[in-house]
Amino acid sequence: MKKLMLIAFCLLFFVPNLAQAENLPPQILITELQTATTTSSDQEFVEIYNDSDAAVNLADYNLEYFSATSTKTTPTWFVNLDGTLEPDSYYFVARQGYLADTKNLEFTSALADTGGYVRISQVSTGDIIDALGWGGSTRFEGHVAPAPAKSKSLVRSMQKDLYIDSDENLSDFSVLDTPNPATVNYVYVPEPEILSPPDPTPVLDVGTDPAPDPTPDPALAPAEIPPVVTPEYLEPYITELLPNPAPPQTDADDEYIELYNPNDIAIDLSGYKIQSGNTYSYSYVISDLVISAKSYVVIYSKDSGLTLSNTSSKAHLINKSGQVVSETDQYSDVPEGQSWQFYIGVWQWSITGSPGASNVQTFPTSLSTIKAASPAKPKSTKTAKAAAAKTTKAKLASAKTTTPKKTTKKTETGPSNNFQEPTLPRTIHPLMLGGAGLLALSYGAYEYRFELSNFLRQLRGNRIFGGGAS
C-alpha cells in the first residue's frame, strides 16, 4: 500500500512538468532571407526551418513583416502559413513569380533591401517564435543584422551541425555570397576552445617512502613520436579603406577594405569576419580566400555587401576565434576619391589610393597650395624721403614736449641727457623758528615741572641757610 502511495505521489509531481513541456511551442527558426538580386528587386524569399523533433501544423503560424521605421503593433503585411512542416525540414516562402518550382508559399508585397523586420508568430497564443531585423530596422533581437547586398542573403550560422539561436541577430546571422534556399546553409562559427584541467598533484603520505620507479626497458619502450608544432603567426590587419570613390566608380561596387598579411607564410582567411559602421552593423564572413605571404588582398563592396558611410564610419577584423585583431580609427568628413590609410602607425587621408599594394601617402592639395605672403612693394625714393622727413619731425616734436624746463648743461657721459638738478629747499622764516623753540621749551617745562619745583626749593633753602650764617 505504501508503495502505491509513493508511486501516486511521484506521478502527481511529474505530470504538471510533462504537461508544461508538451505545451511549449515548437522551435521554428528563420534561417535565410534574401531581399533582392542584381536582376530584380522582386526576387525575394524567406526560409523557415523546423528545429524540433515533432511535425508542426503551420496553419497556426503567420509570417509577418514590419517596415524599418514602423512603430505600429500590427505588421505592414503578413501571410498565414499552410501545411505541415516535418522535423529537420525547410519551408520556403518567396515573392510572387519567383522560384515557382521551389517555394511552398508566396507573398505579393515587398521586403525592403535597406532594412526591415520579419517574424514568425503563433496565432493561437500571440507568441513571437522567431524574428530577424536587418539594415536600418528599429526592431531586432539583440542587435540589428547587416543588410545583405543584391544577390546575397542573410543566413543563420551553424555550430556542430546545429543552427545557432542566441536571440542576437548580429552574431547569429552572416552574409552569404551565394543564396541557398530550402537547403542546409553551411556557414559555421568555430567552437570555443575548451582546455582540460591539469592533472592533480600527487599527495605523498608523511612518513612513507615513495616506491621507486621501475627502470624502463629500452627494448619495450614505444617509439618516440615528435610533438605536433603549430606554427605561430601574426594576425592580418586592415591597411586601407575607400569610403567615397570618385565617379565613374560607385559606392555600391567600388568601396573597398584592404587587408595585409605580415607573415612569411600564407594564411587562410576563411571564417574571418569584417564588420563596418560606427556600431559595426554591417558584417561579412570571408570564405575560400587565402592571402599570400607579405601580400595584400582587397575586398570590394560589390562582393561583400559592406557599407562605408560617406559621413563617419570605421571597420574591424575578427579572427576565427571571435577576437578583434585589427581595428581602424573612426573617420569623418569623407573627401571624394581619397582613401583612409594606415601609414607609419597613423590613420590619415591620402589622395592616392593603393588597393593591393603598399600605401602611398599623398597629402590633399589643400595642404600644399597655401600661398606665401607677398613681399611689400618698395616705396619710391620721393615717397621714402617724405616719410623719413615726417618721422624725423615727429621725433623732434616728441623730444621737445618731454624736455624739463630747468636742466643742467647736457653732457653725453651722464646716464641721461634729460637729468634735472634737484630744487634747493626754501629758507624758513625766523618767526617760525622762534615759535617752534618756544613750544619746545614749554613742553619741557611741563614735562619736568616736579623736578624744577624741587630744584627751586633747594635753591631757596640754600639762600636762607647762607644768609643766617653771615
DSSP string, 137-156: -S--SSSPBPPPPTT-EEEE
pTM, rounded to two decimals: 0.42
Domain final residue pick, 176, 194, 227? 176
| pLDDT of amino acid 407 | 39
Q: Which are the contacts of 398, defined by CB distance < 8 A and separation ≥ 6?
A: none
Domain final residue pick, 367, 400, 421? 367
DSSP strand pairing (312-313 vs 282-285): unpaired
| pLDDT of amino acid 206 | 46
Domain final residue pick, 156, 176, 196? 176
351 in helix, strand or coil? coil
Q: What cell does 171 get?
A: 552574431
Place of cell 603549430: 230
Residues 48 and 163 in one domain: yes
Residues 165 and 73 in one domain: yes
| pLDDT of amino acid 241 | 95
The CB-side HSE value for 179 (13 A sphere, CA atoms) comes to: 24
- CATH (domain of 148): 2.60.40.1260
Alpha helices (H) along 24-168:
none
Residues 165 and 249 in one domain: no
Residues 146 and 288 in one domain: no
- Cβ neighbours of 425 (radius 10 Å): 6
Q: Number of folded domains in the chain?
A: 2
| pLDDT of amino acid 345 | 78
Whole-angstrom distance, CA of residue 290 vs CA of residue 427: 112
Residue 264 lies in a domain: yes
Residues 129 and 250 in one domain: no
DSSP strand pairing (128-135 vs 346-350): unpaired
Residues 158 and 283 in one domain: no
Q: What cell does 375 get?
A: 613681399
Residue 228 lies in a domain: no
| pLDDT of amino acid 27 | 84
Q: Which domain holds residue 57?
A: 25-176
- Cβ neighbours of 143 (radius 10 Å): 14
Residues linked to residue 91 through DSSP beta bridges, in sequence order: 48
Place of cell 534574401: 34
Whole-angstrom distance, CA of residue 376 vs CA of residue 4: 116
Residues 67 and 170 in one domain: yes
| pLDDT of amino acid 196 | 57
The list of the chain residues with pLDDT below 50 reads: 1, 4, 12-23, 203-207, 228-230, 366-426, 464-465, 467-470
